[in-house]
A and B are shown apart, each in its own frame.
Chain A
Amino acid sequence: MLNTANQALPPEGGSLNHNIPILQLVGVGKDFAGGAVRAVHGASLSVRAGEILSILGPSGCGKSTMMRMIAGLEDPTEGDIRIAGRSVLGLPAHKRNVGLVFQSLAIFPHMTVWQNVAFGLRMKQTPKAKITAKVNAALETVQLPARTFAQRLPGQLSGGQLQRVALARTLVTEPALILFDEPMAALDRRLRDHMAVELRSIQKALNIAAIYVTHDQETASVMSDRIAIMNSGQVVQVGTPADIYRRPSNRFVAEFLGDVNCLRARSQPADQTDRPGSLILGGAIGDMEAGTLEQELFFRPEHVLLQIRRKSPDDIAGTIIDVQFASGLFNWRVRLSDGQELVARTTSDLAGAGSGTAVWVQVSPDNIFTPQG
C-alpha cells in the first residue's frame, strides 16, 4: 500500500532531529466498503513539536477518520503516516504512543479518577512510586487536586471535571502527540471557550504537539497555531487562522470560516484607467467597456467601509434595507445601485441611519479575495 511518494522523499534522519515534524501525513487515503466510500484521500499534513493544529471541517468530511488513522484505530488504504520521522503503518494503537481524547471522553466508569489517570502508566509497567508521583502531577496540571478528587468515581463529576480527567489521563503517559476529537462539543459555549484557552496554555507549557479536530471554527481559531480545512475527504487549505480567514483558497473555505460577501464585478484592463488593473463593481460606476472580464469578488462584512457622505470617486452608492444589532456590532444590509446586496459590519450606528438611508460603500482592494472554485 506504500505509494511511490515515499521513495521520492529524502531518507529518514535521526528521530530527535528538530527539523523533522512530530507527525507527517503523506498522501494518506482511506476507503471503506472495498473502495465504494472514499472517506479520506491524498491528505498531507505535518505537525511540529509544540504546535497545535486544528483539523476543521463539516461533519462527514473525514476528519475523524483521519484522526483515527493517526491513533492507529484504523489503517489507511494508501499513503504513509510518520511519527518523529518513522513510519507507523501496521503499528497497533497501543504501541504508537499517540494520546487521544475522545468526543465521549471515554472515562472508565468503573474506576476512580486516580485509577483512570494511572491506567496508562500501569499498562506501561511503571513502578508504583513513579505512578503516584506522575498521577499527582497530572491531576495538579489539570487543576483537579488529588486530595479532593482522586477517590471519586466518574459519575460524581461534572462535564468540565470529566474533561480534565480525560486530559490528565492522556498527558500522564507523555505521548509524542495528543489528538483531541471535539472533546468539548458537549460543554456549553462559555465553559468551552474557557477550556479551550486552558487547554492551549497547558499544551504550550508542556510543549506537546497536538491536533484538535472540530467543526467549530471559533474554537479552532482560538486554540490553534495553524488550521487545516477539510472538505469531502480532502485537505483543502492549511495556514494560520488569520491567513485562512483573510485569504481563503476557495469559496467553501471562505464561507466555512465566517460571513462573506460575494459580488459580481468586471475587471478593467490596465490601459483603460489611471489605476492599473483596478476592479470595478459591476454596473456601479459609469458605463463598462465591452468585452471586459466578469469575476466574483469576496470580502468580509467587517472590511466594508460604510459612510453617509461620499469621500472618494471610487465609492459606490447604495441604500440600507435592514439593520441588526448583535454582539456589540451593527450588521447593515445594503442594496447597491445595480441591485446586488452586501452586508457591512460596523461598531458605529452611522448617526442613527436606518432602513432607506442612502450610503456610500468602499472596500479596500487589500481585503478583497478572488478564490478559485
Chain B
Amino acid sequence: MRRSTSLIGMQRCEALIVTCATAVILGIMLLPIVAVILISFTPSSSIGFPPPGLSLKWYAATYDMLFGHDADLVRLRESLTTSISVAGLTAAICCFAGVPAAYALVRLSFRGKTLFNELVELPIIFPAIVLGIALLMIVSALPFDLGIFQLVVAHSIIALPFMIRNVAAALQGLDPALQEAANTLGASPLRAFGEVVLPLIRNGVVSGILLVFVLSFNEFTLSYFLYTVDAFPLSIWLFQKANTTIDPTIFAVSTVVILINVLVILVVDRIAGENTSNKLS
C-alpha cells in the first residue's frame, strides 16, 4: 500500500519535471518570435521591450514601402518579388529532379545506389559557408551573368534532399504491387506511374514542394555569398536594413515573414495528417 503511494508520488514528480522542462524549452524557442511580433506593434520609433503601447504605424510604413513609389523604398518590393520567384523556381526544379530521384532510390536497384543515397543527403550536413564560397568561385568564373538563377541553383542544392526524403517516404508507404497490377492490366511503366503512383504520392510531393519553398524563402547563408544588385532576396534586405538603420519596420516585415512560414507549415501539417489518415482507412 505504502509502496504504491510512493510510486504515484514519483509519477507526479516525474510529470512535474517533464512539464517544467517542456515549458522552459518552448519559452526559449518562442521568446524571440514573440518579442519580434510585439515590437512590431510599437508606437515609438526606437526599439525597446516591452513596447510602450500598441499601434499599426510600422505596418503602414511597410505597406508604403511595398506599394509606394519612393525610389529608395522600392527595394523591399523588389526583394520580396525576388525571394518569391527564387523560391518558386527552386521548388519547381526540386520537384522535377526530386520525384524521379526518390523513385530510383526506393524502387530501382542499380550500381552505386548506396553512394547515390549518401551524395543526395550530403547537402544537409555540408557547411553552407563552404558551399557558398565554392559556388561564388564558380559563378564568378562564368563568362555570363546568371541573374536570380545563381540563387535558384544554390537553393536547389540544399533543398533537394528534403524533397527527395519527402517523396521517398511517400513511395515507401506504397504497395509495389499497385504499379505491377497496372502493368499487367496493360499500362506501360510511364502510364502506370502517372495513373497510379503519382496520384497516391501526391501529398508527399506537395508537402515537399512547400517545404522547399520555405527553405529557399528563408535561406540566408548562400544568398549572402551570391546576391547581386539584380538578385537581391528579402533575407539580405532584412540583414542590411538591420545593419544600417534599426527601426521597427524590419520587425513588421519579419512578422509578415513569420506569418508566411506559419501558413506553409500549417498546410504541410494538414497534408501530412491527411496522408496518415488515408493509410489507416
Q: Assess whether B269 is interfacial by the CB under 8 Å rule.
A: no
The residues of B that contact A99 with a CB separation of less than 8 Å are 184-185
A64 to chain B, nearest CB (A): 11
**B186: which of A108, A110, A123 is its contact (CB, 8 Å)?**
A123
Q: Assess whether B105 is interfacial by the CB under 8 Å rule.
A: no
**B200: which of A72, A93, A95, A109 is its contact (CB, 8 Å)?**
A109
A68 to chain B, nearest CB (A): 8
Interface size class of A (residues with CB under 8 A): 20 to 34
Main secondary structure of the interface of B (DSSP, over half): helix
The residues of B that contact A98 with a CB separation of less than 8 Å are 184
Contact status of A173 and B186, CB under 8 A, knowing A108-B196, A110-B199, A155-B281: yes
B195 to chain A, nearest CB (A): 8
The answer on a CB contact under 8 Å between A93 and B281 is no
Contact status of A119 and B185, CB under 8 A, knowing A102-B177, A106-B178, A155-B281: yes
The answer on a CB contact under 8 Å between B199 and A94 is no
Interface size class of B (residues with CB under 8 A): 20 to 34
Once bound together, how far apart are the Cα atoms of A72 and B182, in whole Å?
12
The answer on a CB contact under 8 Å between A100 and B187 is no
Q: Assess whether A18 is interfacial by the CB under 8 Å rule.
A: no
The residues of A that contact B196 with a CB separation of less than 8 Å are 108
Contact status of A124 and B200, CB under 8 A, knowing A100-B180, A102-B180, A106-B180: no
Of residues 71 through 108 on chain A, the ones whose CB sits less than 8 Å from some CB of chain B are 71-73, 92-100, 102-104, 106, 108
**A92: which of B178, B181, B183, B278 is its contact (CB, 8 Å)?**
B183
The answer on a CB contact under 8 Å between B180 and A73 is yes
Q: Assess whether B72 is interfacial by the CB under 8 Å rule.
A: no
A302 to chain B, nearest CB (A): 40
The answer on a CB contact under 8 Å between A123 and B187 is yes
Q: Assess whether A169 is interfacial by the CB under 8 Å rule.
A: yes
Q: Which residue of B lies closest to A96 (CB)?
A: B184
The answer on a CB contact under 8 Å between A123 and B184 is no
The answer on a CB contact under 8 Å between A106 and B187 is no
The residues of A that contact B182 with a CB separation of less than 8 Å are 108, 119, 123
Q: List 23 A-B contacts (CB under 8 A).
A: A71-B180, A72-B183, A73-B183, A92-B183, A93-B180, A94-B185, A98-B184, A100-B181, A102-B180, A102-B181, A103-B177, A104-B177, A106-B175, A108-B181, A110-B199, A119-B187, A119-B195, A120-B185, A120-B186, A123-B182, A169-B185, A170-B185, A173-B185
List the interface of chain A (C-beta within 8 A of B): 71-73, 92-100, 102-104, 106, 108-110, 119-120, 123-124, 155, 169-170, 173
Closest 7 CB pairs of A and B: A120-B185, A123-B186, A106-B181, A106-B177, A93-B183, A100-B184, A102-B177
